[in-house]
Structure formats: C-alpha cells, structure tokens
Structure 1
Amino acid sequence: MERNQKEEVQALQDTLHVLGGKWKLPIINSICNGNHRFREIERSIPGITTRMLSRELKDMELNMMIERIEDRDAEIQVKYVSTPYCKTFAPVIEAMIAWGKQHRSEIVRQY
C-alpha cells in the first residue's frame, strides 16, 4: 500500500473513531440545534438510552467535540455545547445530510 493511501486510511479510521457509531452525529446535531440540557438531548434522539448518552457525551468531551459547562448559580446548571473544534466538522455533517436525503430519495424512487 502506498504511503498516501495509508495516510488516507489512517485519517478515515481516526475520523470514525471520534465520530463513528450510531449516536455521535445525532448528538452533535442535537446540540448544534439548541438542545443543551441532558434531557433535551436525550428526548431529541429516539432510541438512545440515558446510559448510552452519558457515555457518548463523556467520550465526545475527551475528544474535544463538546464542552460540559457547570454553573450551579445558573438556571441550567449543566449544559453541553459544541466546541469551535467541533464546528470545523460542520461542512462534513451538512454534506452527509444532503447525501442521505438524496440516497433516500433514490431508493424510494427505485421501489
């Protein structure tokens, strides 16, 4: 395998490690759409369990995709926000959403 191809494969694996799986992209989408409380995020994602959401949020925090902010004096004591680093992924998410819509349309058209 060529060096460039190895680098590409490694880059894809790194991306999938950080954002792969069933829940991470829906969580990012939820937070970017204004859901900042744990329960708001949980309710906005059908099928996710409390335990899974908690685990994914911790992992995403470790990977600098979101930030957990605590303020005991605020109305919302704990909230989750996307980081500027996470926002660099926005064009990829938008492209994935567009492709997913196109794909669904193509499949529905075939049947």
Structure 2
Amino acid sequence: MDSAAFIAATRYCRRKVVTRHLDAMEFRHAIPQGSLVELVAQVTHTGRTSMRVLVNLYREDMYSDERELACTGTFTLVALDDAGQPVAVPALNTAEERALAPHR
C-alpha cells in the first residue's frame, strides 16, 4: 500500500517523495491466499511540501464476481528536491480536496 501511495504522490508532484507517516490503517476483511487485489491511490490533501494519499485495497475472489473493500490506509508523503530537502508541491484546490476527502 505504501508503494501505491508513493506512485500516486510521485505522479501528482513529479518529484522524489518519501513516506513521512502512516496516518491510519483500517483492516475491514481478511484477504485469503489466492485472492486478487486492486490498489487505488489518490492524493486527497496537500500541505506546503506534503501530500496525504488515501489508498484503498479491494479484494476479489479469483473465481467469482465477489469484490469488497478489504483495507484502507492514509499515508503522508513529502516531496524532495535534488539535494534531498523538502520542496513545495502544487496545491489541490478546495473543491478537489472536498471531493476526494474520505467520507467518515
């Protein structure tokens, strides 16, 4: 899931990024051996140099249409310049952040 967060953050800011924090992880369903998994990651909030990325892991039975959200995680990643120092990231606009924010 961290790799999916890394890819989403890198694609968003087109910079080197590092994981700063795993904010939350919620395990909803077991993932039996032999299951297919799909990871969906999106930047939901930006700070000056950081991005919050929500990652949803969906579990799918290989031999049926059964698909369910099995796990969610929220990661904070920081963008870095070529010297390894934090660098500004593009801001999400407020409407985008509201639309992407996880519903609680």
TM-score band w.r.t. shorter chain: under 0.3
More helix by share: 1
Larger Rg: 1
Higher relative contact order (CA 8 A, sep 6+): 2
When normalised by structure 2's length, the TM-score is 0.25
Between Structure 1 and Structure 2, the one with more strand by share is 2
Q: TM-score when scaled to structure 1?
A: 0.24
